[in-house]
Structure 1
Amino acid sequence: MVYRVYLMRHGHVANGNEKRYLGRTDVPLDAAGIAQAKTLHKYFKTIPIDAVFTSPLKRCVQTTEIVCEGKCGHYERVEAFTEIDMGDWENVPMTQIKSAYPELYAKRGDNLEYFTPPHGESFHDVATRARYAFDAITHHATGTILIVAHAGVNRTILANILGISINEMFCIEQPYACVNELIWNAKKVQWDNKRVF
């Protein structure tokens, strides 16, 4: 069984001058994101990693390849770690959604876990698929693993581990290129978590 997990968010991406619902929009890292990934490469240089898993989106794959260059020859793309599908809201500025759909925007704020944007999915759906994949990987892999995913995916995993509601998960900070270290505590039969980068 896995005893240590490094749960990482991908590096910075170009998001224009305003916040957007990127979700599954497949954008690459920008120059800042590449620099962050190179810094993480140095951070992990002396840390043994037995297996690597990543979201299949470009920003995660690029981060994974830079971080693991010369260290981890193989990584596995895991569809369940893909960011939330924002449906019709994909790549649309938040201010535009708030202006065009004020009632829907308010509903999302009131019920983050179960709200589903048109033709998208809810964070409840994300939490279900991401936790299933996380549990399967940590029960079948061994040693120390690295998972590279997204802010939304990571928050749902961490919320479950920390025992907090999905509706409260935005209190868990997940800046670009952050690293959460999860250590299996056999005495308490739980994951202990701290952010290390």
Structure 2
Amino acid sequence: MKTFTVTLLRHGKVNGPAALYGSTDVDVCADINQAIAHHIKQQAIPFETIISSPLRRCWSLASLINPAQPLISEPVISEPVISEPGFQEMHFGQLDGKPFDHIATNSDEWRQLERFWQDPANAHLPEAETLEDFRQRVIACWSQQIATFQGNVLIVTHGGVIRAILAEVLGLDWRNPAWYSGLSISNGSLTQIQVARHDNQIYFTVRQIGSMLN
């Protein structure tokens, strides 16, 4: 039986006001990235390969963690970090990246947000990716990657992506609103899944969820 570990790392807190940041390409402050990269290297997280969402809040961190690069304030993009668009965050349409403070509480947009928070699987935001389409995209990418992994992998990605993967490997209902409101996947946290292959079967064991780096 061959086993390996997949570590899912959520990017650091973005440099912007509170909003639904999906496809909006926002930065993370350099000192936050430096601190996360330092903790990853100090804790000897096992990985031979780094895969990252191409959005800057993930890619900049993945480039710092890349063992081929020193810890510098301006990350250098290098070949060992693999860009994977399938692991991008959900696209939130017209409300993607729009600060909550800019949305009137009695407006149609605010009511759309409230319905989405209460039932994200069925309340679709205008011009947004549906939760079902998002899940299908993420799981198709996850399944493809799992079939080709040969060793320990670090994936730098987003909270929504991590939730989609966890629901899949645990066999849970991804439509349940509590999966999004009640499960904490904080910025800069680690989730680890052990993957075992035996007789062409793949088995998953979740080792930790949303653990904060020390």
TM-score by length of 1: 0.85
1:156 aligns with 164
Identity of aligned residues (%): 21
Moved more, 161-170 or 171-180: 161-170
* Distance in 1, Cα, partners of 2:104 & 2:124: 14
CA contact (8 A) 1:2 1:141 kept: no
Count of residue pairs the alignment pairs up: 194
Cα distance, 1:112–1:81 mapped onto 2, change above 3 Å: same
1:100 aligns with 107
Structure 2 gap ranges (5+):
70-77
2:150 aligns with 142
* Distance in 2, Cα, partners of 1:73 & 1:64: 11
CA contact (8 A) 1:89 1:97 kept: no
2:47 aligns with 49
CA contact (8 A) 2:92 2:127 kept: yes
Structure 1 gap ranges (5+):
none
Q: Could you tell me which amino acid in structure 1 is paired with residue 179 of structure 2?
A: M
Compute the displacement of 1:2 (Å): 6.2
Matched, 1:83 2:79: no
Q: Which runs of 4+ in 1 moved over 6 A?
A: none
* Distance in 2, Cα, partners of 1:146 & 1:26: 21
CA contact (8 A) 1:37 1:66 kept: no
CA contact (8 A) 2:11 2:57 kept: yes
CA contact (8 A) 1:14 1:30 kept: yes
Higher-helix-fraction structure:
1
Deviations 1:74-125 (A, max 9, x none): 0211111111111100111235165322442332134212332111112222
Q: SS where residue 99 of structure 1 aligns?
A: coil
Matched, 1:125 2:126: no
Q: SS where residue 4 of structure 2 aligns?
A: strand
1:61 aligns with 59
1:7 aligns with 8
CA contact (8 A) 1:2 1:138 kept: no
Matched, 1:168 2:175: no
CA contact (8 A) 1:98 1:105 kept: no
